[in-house]
Amino acid sequence: MTALSKEENRLIRLDRMRYTKNSLSSSLTYLAILFDVLYFVSIYESDVGNWYYNHVIGISVVYNLLFMLIAFLSSEGVKNYKLSYSVVLLALGAGQIARIFYLPMRALSETITRMDPATKQKVTVSIMEKPQFTWVVVCLAVSALCCFAAGAIGVYRSRTLAAYQATLDEQAA
């Protein structure tokens, strides 16, 4: 086969989208799910008595499940260049950012008093130490970033493919 010009390459890249999946967006979404898992594994590991065990933790658990379900469905949607799923991913990204200011921030700023088993004295401790806080924020931020990137790429590619398909339909008509 002969060497292709830049324009030919661009057109072939466009045409290829008709037969190949948007695997980049899909993979980024899986990455977002992975970092969400790292987040919730980390946030529940603190031994802070029963501070977590109220409606906050309930909402958090339910949200994690919903996030994973919706993100997984969206990964399949964006794989097939569905614009609506790309928008959903952008919304999920925004949600991940918002979560930073909900549970981690509260846990960082609050303290509890408990009995130290070694000294048998009451001590005041932070719900979440700084290193753990940094880690969970990084996890949520990366998860959000992946969602934004997957959504943005999905929107761009879906629109590009739709425009190209419209051109082809026009030519065929």
CA distances from 131 to 14, 43, 49, 108, 137 (A): 46, 12, 19, 10, 10
Distance of CA 5 to the CA centre of its chain: 38
Scan residues 13-32 and list those touching other proteins (CB under 8 A).
Answer: 13, 15-16, 18-20
13 in helix, strand or coil? helix
Taking the complex as a whole, the smallest distance from the CB of residue 8 to other proteins amounts, in Å, to 8
When asked if residue 9 is in the footprint of other proteins (CB under 8 A), the reply is: yes
Angle between helical axes of 23-43 and 83-100 (0-180°, round to 10): 20
Report if residue 1 touches other proteins, rule: CB under 8 A. Answer: yes
CA distance 96 to 8: 40
Nearer to other proteins, 81 or 148 (CB): 81
Minimum distance from CB of 150 to other proteins (Å)?
A: 20
**DSSP for residue 122:** E
Q: Closest CB to other proteins among 15 and 76?
A: 15
Stretch that binds other proteins, among 12-20, 26-34, 57-65, 90-98 (CB under 8 A): 12-20
Cβ nearer to other proteins, comparing 1 with 173: 1
User: 4 is written with which tokens?
Assistant: 């292709």
Task: Find out whether 137 and 102 touch, Cβ atoms under 8 Å.
Answer: no
d(CA 42, CA 44): 6
CB of 96 to other proteins, least distance (A): 30
Shortest Cβ distance from residue 161 to other proteins (Å)? 13
Closest to other proteins by CB, 80 or 134: 80
Q: How crowded is the C-beta side of 34, counted as CA atoms within 13 Å?
A: 9
State the residues that interact with other proteins by CB under 8 A.
1, 4, 9, 12-13, 15-16, 18-20
